[in-house]
C-alpha cells in the first residue's frame, strides 16, 4: 500500500475517533454501494452524518475541502440513499466533511457540518 493510502486510512481512523469524542456513534466505515464509497456513516441523535474524510500533508495548492467534486457528491448521495433504504431509517441525513491536515507530527482536524447540499 502506498504511503498516501496509508495516510488516508490513518486519516479515516483519526476522523472516526474525533467524531466519537463529539458524541457520534460510528455506524459504518467504508460503506460501498455500486461505485460509491462512504468513508464514515455516523449518527448523533436523529441526524445521520455521511462523512467524507480528506487527509493531506499540505494545503498549499487548494484547500482540502475544495477537492470534493460534483461526481463524488453524487456518489455519496447514492450511497447514503441506499444505506437509509437498507436499514429502513427515518432520520435527517447530513453530508459532512472532516479534513485532517498533517504538519510533521501535529494534526489539525476540522469538521464541516452540512458541507454541501444535494438538490
Which domains can be identified in the chain, with CATH numbers?
3-112 (3.40.1350.10)
Instruction: Walk along the chain (119 residues) and give the pLDDT tens digit of each residue.
Output: 455 557 678 889 999 999 999 999 999 999 999 999 999 999 999 999 999 999 887 666 566 667 788 999 999 999 999 999 999 999 999 999 999 988 877 888 999 999 876 54
- Residue of 26, 46, 34 whose CA lies nearest to 76: 34
Three cell numbers at 56? 493531506
Beta strand ranges found along 1-119 (DSSP E) = 25-33, 36-44, 47-56, 92-103, 106-112
Start-to-end CA distance of the chain, whole Å, equals: 37
pTM of the predicted structure, to 2 decimals = 0.87
The answer to whether the beta carbons of residues 68 and 97 sit under 8 Å apart is yes
Amino acid at each position: 500500500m502506498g504511503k498516501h493510502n496509508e495516510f488516508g486510512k490513518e486519516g479515516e481512523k483519526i476522523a472516526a475517533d474525533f467524531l466519537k469524542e463529539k458524541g457520534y456513534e460510528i455506524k459504518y466505515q467504508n460503506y460501498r454501494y455500486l461505485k460509491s464509497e462512504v468513508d464514515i456513516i455516523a449518527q448523533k441523535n436523529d441526524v445521520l452524518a455521511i462523512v467524507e474524510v480528506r487527509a493531506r500533508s499540505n494545503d498549499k495548492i487548494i484547500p482540502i475541502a475544495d477537492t470534493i467534486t460534483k461526481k463524488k457528491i453524487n456518489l455519496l448521495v447514492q450511497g447514503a440513499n441506499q444505506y437509509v433504504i437498507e436499514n429502513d431509517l427515518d432520520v435527517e441525513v447530513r453530508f459532512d466533511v472532516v479534513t485532517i491536515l498533517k504538519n510533521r507530527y501535529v494534526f489539525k482536524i476540522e469538521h464541516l457540518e452540512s458541507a454541501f447540499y444535494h438538490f
